[in-house]
């Protein structure tokens, strides 16, 4: 009897040790992140902050990200189309759009050349994640014909047939001919590699299918790449964004990101905030 009990105790101890061993072995993956900008846009501040600074033109970055994960090389947004480079904006976007969102972009600032500076080729990119399909975010989808394209299903519908009041910022020729690309069509949140490091968050409001990206880095902590859910620090502080598909949903998404920021002790990174962008390091990876 005593011997049997001993055996049971030994077995339990072994299980517990095994359990601990599994935990110790399951390491967090090494993830690196670079924040880049597809040149700048000069625009009326009122596009970003409703009823605040209307009539004042400001110059802002066009944030995009390269993320290296053991299971793939990812992009989050792709910037303005390559054809917009080197003063040729009006040829591609047309005078009206270029007047409203004056793009300054050199050829070297386009995502393929920025990847090259980091030692990658466009063919190395396995996943392109889009916050949404507006001209300054999905502009270069065609540079990555063989990647998996990660986007909300509602955003694809909106991009192909936008509400009339939202049409201007969707440039159909950025993505015409891409219907047979490999799209991962999402309906809400998604943990891309099921390891908690790259989590797509539903932040609709700016557009019907807007999404943000939560990236967990070992040293830096949790970054909430808001994209156009939060253009600038003023939006985070409560100023309604200037361009919204649905203002109520937009404000709920800002609240959602703030709640996750507090829960994870993370940071919200904006899409078009010059001051915050300049405070970040763009030469080295965040890890």
Binding region for Zn ion (CB under 5 A): 136, 228
Residue 192 has which token pair? Answer: 């891309």
Q: Specify whether the backbone of 231 is left (phi greater than 0), alpha (psi in -120 to 50) or beta.
A: alpha
When the beta carbons of 210 and 216 are compared against Zn ion, the nearer one is: 210
When the beta carbons of 155 and 228 are compared against Zn ion, the nearer one is: 228
To Zn ion, the closest distance from the beta carbon of 227 in angstroms equals: 7
To Zn ion, the closest distance from the beta carbon of 225 in angstroms equals: 12
State the CB neighbour count (10 A cutoff) for residue 19.
Answer: 10
When the beta carbons of 136 and 234 are compared against Zn ion, the nearer one is: 136
To Zn ion, the closest distance from the beta carbon of 175 in angstroms equals: 16
When the beta carbons of 79 and 266 are compared against Zn ion, the nearer one is: 79
When the beta carbons of 154 and 228 are compared against Zn ion, the nearer one is: 228
Q: Angle at Cα 154 formed by Cα 49 and Cα 40, nearest 5°?
A: 40
To Zn ion, the closest distance from the beta carbon of 223 in angstroms equals: 18
When the beta carbons of 31 and 241 are compared against Zn ion, the nearer one is: 241
To Zn ion, the closest distance from the beta carbon of 79 in angstroms equals: 10
Q: How far apart are CA 170 and CA 158, in angstroms?
A: 9
CA atoms within 13 A on the CB side of 211: 30
242, 48 Cβ separation under 8 angstroms: yes
Q: How far apart are CA 41 and CA 206, in angstroms?
A: 18
To Zn ion, the closest distance from the beta carbon of 269 in angstroms equals: 13
Residue 254 has which token pair? Answer: 């800002």
When the beta carbons of 137 and 216 are compared against Zn ion, the nearer one is: 137
To Zn ion, the closest distance from the beta carbon of 78 in angstroms equals: 12
The strand ranges marked E within 70-204 are 72-76, 102-104, 125-129, 148-152, 182-186, 190-191, 198-202
Q: How far apart are CA 102 and CA 89, in angstroms?
A: 8
Phi–psi pair at 285, nearest 5 degrees: -80, 145
Q: Specify whether the backbone of 55 is left (phi greater than 0), alpha (psi in -120 to 50) or beta.
A: left
To Zn ion, the closest distance from the beta carbon of 136 in angstroms equals: 4
When the beta carbons of 198 and 230 are compared against Zn ion, the nearer one is: 230
Mapped onto helix, strand or coil, the DSSP state of residue 256 is helix
Q: How far apart are CA 140 and CA 103, in angstroms?
A: 15
């Amino acid at each position: 009897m005593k011997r049997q009990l001993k055996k049971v105790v030994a077995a339990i101890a072994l299980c517990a040790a095994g359990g601990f061993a599994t935990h110790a072995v399951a390491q967090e993956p090494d993830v690196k992140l670079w924040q880049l900008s597809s040149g700048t846009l000069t625009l009326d501040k009122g596009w970003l902050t409703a009823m605040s600074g209307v009539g004042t033109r400001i110059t802002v970055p066009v944030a995009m990200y390269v993320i290296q994960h053991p299971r793939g090389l990812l992009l989050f947004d792709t910037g303005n189309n390559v054809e917009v480079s080197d003063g040729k904006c009006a040829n591609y976007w047309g005078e009206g759009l270029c007047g409203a969102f004056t793009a300054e972009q050199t050829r070297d600032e386009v995502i393929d050349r920025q990847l090259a500076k980091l030692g990658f080729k466009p063919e190395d990119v396995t996943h392109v994640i889009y916050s949404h399909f507006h001209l300054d975010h999905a502009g270069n989808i065609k540079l990555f014909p063989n990647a998996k394209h990660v986007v909300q299903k509602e955003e694809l519908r909106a991009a192909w047939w936008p509400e009339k009041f939202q049409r201007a910022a969707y440039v159909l020729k950025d993505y015409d001919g891409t219907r047979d690309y490999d799209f991962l069509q999402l309906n809400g949140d998604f943990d891309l590699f099921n390891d908690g490091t790259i989590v797509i968050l539903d932040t609709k409001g700016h557009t019907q299918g807007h999404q943000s990206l939560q990236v967990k880095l070992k040293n830096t902590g949790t970054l909430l790449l808001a994209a156009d859910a939060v253009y600038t620090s003023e939006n985070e502080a409560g100023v309604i964004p200037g361009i919204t598909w649905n203002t109520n949903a937009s404000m709920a998404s800002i609240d959602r990101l703030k709640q996750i920021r507090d829960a994870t002790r993370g940071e919200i990174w904006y899409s078009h905030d010059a001051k915050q962008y300049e405070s970040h390091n763009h030469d080295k990876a965040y890890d």
